[in-house]
Structure 1
Amino acid sequence: MADYAIILDDLAVQMRLGIHPHEAAPQRVLVSVRLTVDYPKTPDADSIAEVLDYDTIRDGIHALAGGDGFALQETLVERIAAFCLTDPRVRAVRVRSMKPDVYPDARVGCEIVRGR
């Protein structure tokens, strides 16, 4: 088997995320995902059909961001991780969300690791 890390880093989405009244409007959220992916063999045909297409992960995150929103970052990262693990080749996933504009002097976020 061939193990690869697929990385989507600092994807910026606009979404409702938070518990405070000022967070009722969509805000910028940065999402990073690192997937450990098992392929049955080393991809040698140089074809997207052999590998996990990261467009799928990006599109899934955009779909979640376009929904009703979340109160907690913990819920957001759990949903993203669950979505990523629907691909049977994904052995583990690390998901991080960051709200960069909540404070003028810091970013706030949440990170989880999930696996099979």
Structure 2
Amino acid sequence: MTDRIELTGLRARGRHGVYDFERAHGQDFVVDAVLELDLAPAARSDQVTDTIHYGELAERLAAVVTGEPVNLIETLADRLLTVCLADPRVRTATVTVRKPEAPVPCTFTDVAVTMTRPAR
């Protein structure tokens, strides 16, 4: 399957991390999501009901990021994948969680975790 919906650069403030100051002050997280599904029905009908509404998907993903804190961005990515795979039309989802303000004692551009899961 080569049909995909991609949502990139979704920024939301969360309180995830293993350190108390990360939980207290929060930081921005950036999420990319790629959903693989058959987009032919939507292309034929021209109806949003025949595809994944990416605005609603963005709101659900942002709610996870701004919601209950977790220690690891791996756990956060897994929760985001659950949201992406909730629609039965999605065959595979890939989520990348970036933590550009991670407490790393060296100069760096980004820290990211990417996870891919098939629908069950």
Partner residue, 1:109: 112
How big is the shift at 1:42?
A: 5.5
TM-score normalised to the size of structure 2?
Answer: 0.85
Deviations 1:86-115 (A, max 9, x none): 100000000000111224423111110000
**Map of 1:1-40 to 2, 5 A cutoff?**
4-24=3-23, 25-39=25-39
Give 3-state SS (helix, strand or coil) of 1:90's partner.
coil
- Long gaps (5+) in structure 1: none
CA distance in 2, matches of 1:94, 1:65: 16
How big is the shift at 1:3?
A: 5.2
Greater mean alpha carbon deviation, residues 14-23 or residues 87-96: 14-23
Asked if structure 1 preserves the Cα contact closer than 8 Å seen for 2:42 and 2:51, the reply is no
CA distance in 2, matches of 1:79, 1:45: 31
- Long gaps (5+) in structure 2: none
Partner residue, 1:73: 73
Which structure: greater strand fraction?
1
CA RMSD of aligned residues (A): 1.8
Which structure: greater helix fraction?
2
The total of aligned residue pairs comes to 115
